[in-house]
Every structure is written in structure tokens, then in C-alpha cells.
Structure 1
Amino acid sequence: MAQSMSAHGIAALPRNYELFYEAMSGRLPHLSQDLASLGTNPAQDALDALGLKHHLVAHAALAADTIQAVAEEALGDMAKLLKSALAQKRTFKDELDHFAGRLDADPVASLSDFADDARRLREAIGRLTNEEGALQREFEASARRFAELKSELAENARTLTRDPATGLPNRLALTAKLDAILETEHLDQSLAVVVASVEGLRQMAEQHGGTVTAKALAKLSTLFRRSIKKNDFVARIGQQEFAFLCRDVSADNAEAIARRLQQQVRDLRIALPGRTHTVETLSFTAGVTMAQPASTSDELLRQADLALSTARSSSGIRSYSVILGGDGAKTYGHHAA
């Protein structure tokens, strides 16, 4: 990948590695097209703009730095206006003190002298009013800008926990959700973790490009959202890996859910552009594990991954057991009911 980046004139920065990988992997078809449109030797600013546009994780820090810089600039402008307004207030106070001193020193001063003092006071009030008005406008503009920054920060936070290609939660969000369930809910209800691989997505990206892959991912994300209960959870955790948290289910229930998903994925038909009667199909393998009272998220995901690795060899569904492959592990193949 480093050699390919060098050939395209892309600097070996960590965020560029992520950008180039995501573009080449087929996970984000539109990113692939946008990057290709930049040609060779693209400017770093253009690359960063793509990373921000497609909400890549490595660019979240860059977005945060930009937001911080804007906020600091806005606060600096307000501080300057406030300093100027305070200076005008001191000037006005000095004029009042001067006027009061003249009255004390000469109560019967001429009208012309009073007129001069009144003019100076009026001018000082005018300058003070102008500064106060400018400060108020700056505060209002900054309040609007800070509201925009708050929205951008919220979007930045969503970027860290969302898969950009499907809109599903990502592995970070999955781990946080699982930790929350294990730590705060104390498993009052049984919990199953299903880690699945949709076989064929990688080959589809390599053979047919990003547009077909994007269509397949859209169908899969819609299918998975509709196939789980309201309080369950689905995330995309890899190029073709997904994970499900299923509440209040037994081991048999979890296996039945995985088998149903397997059949639904097998029934999907992905049309190819320009080929009316040619479609692509996908397959689904999964590893299932059940949470125990002392379970941790790392342990459960490791168990499910181990079961998935075994399931891949038989294109089926594998349930985790202490001795994987023993009597406690069940495998469901293509023809399981």
C-alpha cells in the first residue's frame, strides 16, 4: 500500500494511509471515485477534505483541531472587542469625572464651557454605544457559530462510532454498547453475541467495483436492521463482518436467529450494471456465544470470533463451547432447517 501511495504522490501520513486503504478496499465506493478524480500528486488539503467529507476516523482529530482553532479565533475576536469597549467606558468615566470636577471648581461656569463638556460627553457616549453594539453583534455571531461548532462536534462524535458505508454502528460502538450492558444491566436478561461474515463482499468489490458493493451493503444493512428486535443491536465491524447483540434469548434462540439471517442473506440478489439477467449472491457464516455473569466484552467477542473461524470451514453457524469442536458445539450448514 505504501508503494502504491508513493506512486500516486500521496504522503505517508497516518491519516492518508486510512484514506487510501478505505478507498482501495471498496468499503466506500464514493470515496474511491473522489480520490481517483484527484489524479496523481493530489494536494494534502484536497486529501484532508475527502477524509472529512467521508467522516474517516483518522480525520476526526483533524476536524476537532479545526473546530478548536475556529472557536479560539472567535473568542479572541470577542476579547478584543471587550477590551475596546472597556477602554471606551474608561474614557467616558474620565469625561464624567472631568465634568464633575469643573462643576465643583466653578459652579457658575459659562454656558459655552458647559456646551463644550456636553459635546465631549455626547461623543464619548456615542463611541461607547458603538463599541457596545459591536460587542453585542459579535456575541450574537459567536453564539451562532458555537451552535454550528456544537453540531459539527456531534457529527464528529458520530463519525467515531458509525460505519460510513452503511450508517450502522462500528466496532467501537459495539464494544461500548456491550460494555454498558455488561456493567450497568448486570445481565438481568440473557444476552447472545453473534459475529457473522457475509462471504462474497470482498470478491464482489474486487470483481465489480464499488457501486455494486455499495448496493449490496445497502441491502444488507436494511435487512439486518429489520431482522432484529427493537432493543437488539447490529454493527458493521469489518469489510464483510457484522455483529449482533440479541437480548433475552436462549442459546437455541440465538442459533435460530443466525439461521434465519443466513437464509435471508442467501436469498438476496444483487443485480450487476448492464447485465439484465446476471446477479450476484452472498453467503452468511456466524459464530454464536452466550454471555455469562462474569463475561467481558473482549472475552465475548473473542469467543464469537473463534466460533466464526470454525464456522467458515463448513459455511455454517457455530456455537462457542469451552472445547470448541466438542459435543457442546453445534454446526449448522447450508441445509439446516
Structure 2
Amino acid sequence: MQSDASTSHQHVQPPKSPIVQDNLQKITAFMAKHQIAGLPRNFEIVYEAMVRRNAEIARDLVALGAQPSQIALDHLGLKHRLVSHCGLADEHVQSEATAALKRLAEQVSLGLLRKQTFTRALETIVKSIREDETRGLSEILEELDFLDSAASDLIREETEIEFKLKAGLEQIEAAERTAEAARSMVLTDRLTELPNRIAFMNRLESLYEQATVPFGTAMLLVDIDNFREINRQFGDEAGNRLLKRLAAVFRKTIKKYDFVARIEGDDFAFLFSDVGATEAQAIAERLRTAVENNLIFATEQGRSQGSLGLSIGFAMTADAATPSELIAHAESALATARATPRHPIAGYGSEPQRGMGRNVA
């Protein structure tokens, strides 16, 4: 039986840091002052502007003035592709597509009704001609003129319905493209345009959906050395430019079927298939060399600060039964790499695995 202290420990949440508490208070005070509804998507806008210091969002938020409408806030969130607003866009697109389908169904029903009316009129006239042989030619011509006029009206209405059907289908296709773009936003990092943490977790979990533990895939975690110090000395905008350039180097360095994502701050994650530990080590060294050769960090005055340093930890899927275990192994290796600056690349475990013959050059 557990002691009271142990039981109590399980239910007590760790206290928030003073910085987190201060940020929450600032955001809450700002939203209250400007009478912004306490919705999660509104919180994200203010958080991006005040805490993450996104200058563009901050300017747009200020431009809305005091007591901004919810519609204006939602437009701002969609403009900057905030995650919480992408779902809102998806719902809006689905609503538009449903409305378009209803309008199309009404047009089709109306067209069928008009066809049925014309058919009944035609049947009535044909029947009357057959049953009354004494009818004069002039009466028959009048009825034929009526049918001709009705047929012309029907053709015109059918043409209008065809036009409306095409327009409705184009609207639905546009809505589908918008919905797909909204879903893509949820999986894309706004700053670097690389896949984000959600996309990375989806990719990683798909590896473990098989009946057996996946073999021959390496996960690499990459961290920029002293990135907080860079931000502190040169500002967030300089740090953001650095992250964009680093993402570009990574994108050019990996191969077509490899995967890279920015998962948080200055942390990037990679997945390389068909490799062993030896190849993973070589890939990590190649990534670090590519950054050293292609990314020189300089101040605004142009003074070079030398090449950018990276710490890299890697782990193999063969050693992990679940995605969370693989992440824990990679994080452990990264911690080792950070703690040993002279050896900034570390793999989980000490026993090297046999390579699988992949060319990593």
C-alpha cells in the first residue's frame, strides 16, 4: 500500500515557472483589456504576438484596434496559418461545400420536375390527336407550336442548370483544395516551411503501425549550440533568419525519401530509412559538415562569428518497441552529445550495429 506522501505526489501538478506565470498573466491582462473572448484560438494569437514575439502578427493585432471583432481575429489567425485556426478554416470549407451540394440538388430536382411537366403535356397532346381524328390542321399546329415553345424553354432551363452545375462543382473543388491547404498548414512549420512536430509524430507512428518492430530506420535529433545566446545577443529576427537558412541546408542535404521536421525552437528531427548505426553516424557527420561549410553566422556589422555548431543524437528503430521509446533514446543520445562538445555526435547504446549498405555520400 502506498503512503499518503506517495499518493499525494501523483496528483500534484508541478508548479509553473515564474516566466510561464508572468506570460500567462500578460496574455490574460491583454485579452481582458481589449475585450477579446477567452477562446483557445484567440489565446494563440496573443501568445504568438507577445510571447513568441512574432512581429507580423503583433502589427496586425495592433492594427485591429481596441475590442476587435471575432471575425477580424479569425481572419488574422487564418492569414498567419495558426494551427488552431486551420481547423476553423476546414469547418468553414466543409460548410461551403455542403451548401453548394444542396443548391445543386435543388437545381437537379427543379430540372426533373420541368422535364416531367413537359413529358405529360406531350403525352396529353399526342393522345388527343390520336383520339380525335376530326381535329383540324390549325389546332394541331397550335399544339405543336406550344410543344416547340415548351421544348425551347426546357432547353434554355437545362442549359442554365448545366451552367449552375459546373459552377457548383468548381466551387466544391475549390473548397476541397482550400481544405487540403488548411490541413497542410496544420502539418507545416510557419517559419521554416518544413514539416512540424505533428507531421513528424504522424510519420513516426506510421512506422510502428506494422505487426513487427520496424528495422533499419534511424532517428536523428539536431540541436543548435548556444541558440538562446544567439537570440539574446542579436535578437529574435536574427535567430529566425538563421533557422530558415539552416532548414534550407537540411532540405538540400537529405535525399528524396528522407524526412526532416522542425519540432520545436531550434530542434530538428530526421528519419532515415534503410540504414544501420554506422550509416546513421556517417549521416550525422555529413549534416554537421554541410552546416559548417554552408552556414556562417555573422553579426549585422558583418563580423563573422564562425560556423554554426550542432549537437546530434541518434537512435535506431530496432532498439525501440514504440515511438515514445525511440524518441527517449534519441533524446538521451542528444543529451550525451550536448554534454561532450568535443564529440557532438552520439548514438544511443554503445554497441555498433551492422550497416545495411546504404550509400550516405
Which residues in structure 2 correspond to 1:59-138 (within 5 Å)?
59-138=85-164
Q: How far apart, CA to CA, are the structure 1 residues paired with 2:43 and 2:233?
A: 23
1:185-224 deviation line (CA, Å, top 9, x unaligned):
9678632212222245455556655532331122110111
1:24/1:320 Cα in 2 relative to 1: closer, same or farther (>3 Å)?
farther
**Residue 119 (structure 1) shift:** 3.2
Is 25-34 or 228-237 further displaced after alignment? 25-34
For residue 247 of structure 1, what is the aligned residue in structure 2?
A: 273
Aligned to 1:319: 347
Distance 1:296 1:161, change over 3 A: same
**Where do 1:1-337 residues align within 5 Å?**
1=24, 2-3=27-28, 4-26=30-52, 30-183=56-209, 190-202=216-228, 204=230, 208=234, 210-262=236-288, 265=291, 268-272=295-299, 275-277=301-303, 283-292=309-318, 295-314=321-340, 316-321=344-349
Question: 1:103, 1:109 within 8 Å by CA — same for their partners in 2?
Answer: yes
TM-score (norm. length: structure 1): 0.81
Aligned residues of 2:93 and 2:176 also touching (Cα < 8 A): no
Say which SS state the counterpart of residue 287 (structure 1) adopts: strand
Tell me the matched-pair count. Answer: 323
Cα displacement string for residues 127-159 of structure 1 (whole angstroms, at most 9, x for unaligned residues) = 211221111001111222222223222212322
Q: C-alpha separation between the residues in 2 aligned to 1:90 and 1:174? A: 57
User: What amino acid is aligned across from residue 57 of structure 2 in structure 1?
Assistant: L
Shift in Å, 1:92 = 0.8
One-letter code of the match for 2:198?
A: L
Partner of 1:332: none
Q: Which moved more, 1:153-162 or 1:57-66?
A: 153-162
Contact 1:88 1:124 survives alignment (8 Å): no
Between the aligned partners of 2:260 and 2:214, the Cα distance in structure 1 is 20
Shift of 1:99: 0.8
- Structure 2, unmatched stretches of 5+, are 1-23, 353-361
Unaligned runs of 5+ in 1: 322-326, 330-337
The 3 A distance-change label for structure 1 pair 105 and 246 is closer
Q: Distance in 1 between matches of 2:254 and 2:236?
A: 27
Alpha-carbon distance change, 105 to 24 in structure 1, aligned in 2, over 3 angstroms: same
TM-score (norm 2): 0.76
Alignment-derived partner of residue 334 in structure 1: none
State, as a whole percentage, how many aligned pairs show the same letter.
34
Offset at residue 242 of structure 1 (A) = 0.8
